[in-house]
Chains A and B, each alone.
Chain A
Amino acid sequence: MKQNTNISIETDNLSLWYGKFQALFDVSSRIKHGMITALIGPSGCGKTTLLRCFNRMNERFSSVGIQGQVRIMGKNIYDADVSLIELRKTVGMVFQRPNPMPLSIYDNVAFGLRIHSPHGKISRAKEAEAVEKALQEVFLFDQVKDHLDKRGTGLPLEQQQKLCIARLLPLKPTILLMDEPCSALDAEATEAVEDLLRRLKEKFTIVIVTHNMAQARRISDECIYMLKGNLIEHNKTAELFVRPRDKRTEEYIEGRYG
């Protein structure tokens, strides 16, 4: 098979069952690097489930059955030799509710580096440099630089969410998965996070699940529309919202259901 270097995540006939309930049906997709791809669709359509497949987060629920392949940078991540620890270094995830760890702001960002260094040892200077760089990248450093020792859980929600993005960066991930990252934030904070995503997208593959069609339209370059576990349409965002190819997509974006 010809490897397209621009493709970052590929799924081939991916089906997933929670027990007897089938949540995904033969999903095949090609998600590109260096842009934001939005997963949209009504509640229960499987968009979060699909997102979780990309770093194997579904597996902490027991009785999950998976068929098909998910290839990340060409490697099937459901192969037996794939280590979850290594996979998750490369594929980071941000959640609906910001979930900073109950540590200081500094430690939240340094956490990833420490747990991946032998004996948890890493030189102070290197660590501080990486922390500052990560916080700079999410435009948080100036707001928190004077109280890096304060608890991350005490920050305003917007900053918490940025912190959650920042803590992934020192591990040099390729892919950032975002599960409705703005749904707990107010309008202003949403704008700030969206801005951030736009600035980050050059360097990463960003996949964002969102309920908010307007948001998908604002920030994504490509859109995947899902319905009842099926991938209905995958197209450039501009195309999908203006000239949907599928009748169901059209009805959804017109707000007839969902």
Chain B
Amino acid sequence: MNTVANNLSAGLFTATELTRKKLLTQKIVGIIFGLMVLLILIPLILLVGNLVIKAWPSLTWDFLTDVPKSGMRAGGIWPAFIGTFYLVVFSLLASAPIGILAGIYLNEYAGNNWFTRVVNLAVVNLAGVPSIVHSLFGVGAFVIFAGLGKSVLAASLTIAIMTLPVIIVATKEALSAVPMSFRVACWNVGASKWQTIRTIVLPNSISGILTGVILEVCRAAGETAPIMFTGAVFFKHVQRGDLFPYHPGEQCMALSYHLHTISTQVPGVPEPMLYATAVVLLGFVLVFNSFAVVLRVYMRNRKKW
């Protein structure tokens, strides 16, 4: 009896020619995709490695906290570092509230009509505007028209305009990730829209929103174009380690612009200094980035549904 069954089932479920081909294709595709991941990683590693190695002689605590000396050919980058910090903070003060509130409106309040669609389209298009164009807009709107002159304020507002669309989109995405059934549950006990948003929707989307905001910090810190004509300055005399060196109405130095000037405008700057400036800028961005990642992971672990 058993042998009969064995004979009948021989060859059952073994791979045919076609199946083997399919498996082979699958393997090859997997390898190609894996290689692409490596291709992304290699430049990153080379870039960061190269920067750090070349910058090593200049990478000291002093370099960060000292002021530039002998026509930028010695000393540190404190004024630029703190300037970047100023620009980021001021731009966030403007763009975060506006962007988040606008995102909430677009996702929670706005009806599905032509006006909403136009606004959404405008937001997407604003995100696509090149930063140099933002810069020219900043010159026209803030420096000249609003009479702010070239200043921390004008530069920050220009950066704010540039970062707004991404904050709006991040907010919308985070809000729409909150399941509709939660909102329905709230409405069915008679909660108003705002009560629903405040008690249920926002607490469950705040991690996504904050992540979007923090990622925008990185762009704000790194962009040179929007501050070039609106508030960045070649050199400014600042006390070493001074935490409040700039008045919002004055111009300031900034890391990205400083890197630009010392590598193109000032002859004879020691190479390690150039690289070290780049490393500090990169580090600034990386610190914020990893903060965003940690925050996201923490918040994600906290929410359960």
Contacts and interface: CB of A to CB of B under 8 A. Distances in A.
Interface stretch (A3-11, A121-129, A163-171, A225-233): A163-171
B230 interface: no
B189 A112 contact: yes
Given A62-B111, A111-B199, A154-B304, A102 B182 contact: yes
A102 B206 CA distance: 14
Interface in A69-121: 84-89, 92-93, 95, 97, 99-103, 111-112, 115-116
Contacts of A153: 304-305
A115 B305 CA distance: 22
A236 interface: no
B113 to A, nearest CB: 9
A89 B179 CA distance: 22
Contact of A89 (B112, B190, B304): B190
Contacts of B195: 115
Nearest to B191: A115
B189 A89 contact: yes
A167 B182 CA distance: 13
B293 interface: no
Given A101-B200, A102-B200, A102-B303, A88 B189 contact: yes
Contacts of B188: 55, 57, 88, 92-93, 168
Given A102-B204, A111-B199, A95 B190 contact: no
A88 B200 contact: no
A217 interface: no
A99 B181 CA distance: 6
Contact of B189 (A60, A62, A102, A111): A111
A102 B304 contact: yes
Describe B's contact surface by its main secondary structure.
Answer: loop
A89 B204 CA distance: 24
A248 interface: no
Interface in B59-74: none
Interface in B92-127: 111-112
B190 A101 contact: no
A170 to B, nearest CB: 9
A241 B259 CA distance: 84
Contacts of B199: 111, 115
Interface string B193-224: 00100011001100000000000000000000
A112 B195 CA distance: 11
B245 to A, nearest CB: 44
Pick the most buried of A88, A89, A101, A168: most chain B CB atoms within 10 A of its CB. Answer: A101
Contacts of B186: 101, 111, 115
A52 to B, nearest CB: 11
A133 interface: no
A62 B190 contact: no
Given A115-B195, A153-B305, A97 B189 contact: no
B305 A88 contact: no
A86 B190 contact: yes
Contacts of B112: 62
A86 B190 CA distance: 6
14 contacts: A55-B188, A57-B184, A85-B190, A88-B187, A88-B189, A89-B189, A93-B188, A102-B303, A103-B200, A115-B186, A115-B195, A115-B199, A153-B304, A154-B304
Given A84-B187, A93-B188, 7 more contacts: A57-B188, A97-B181, A100-B185, A115-B191, A151-B305, A153-B305, A171-B190
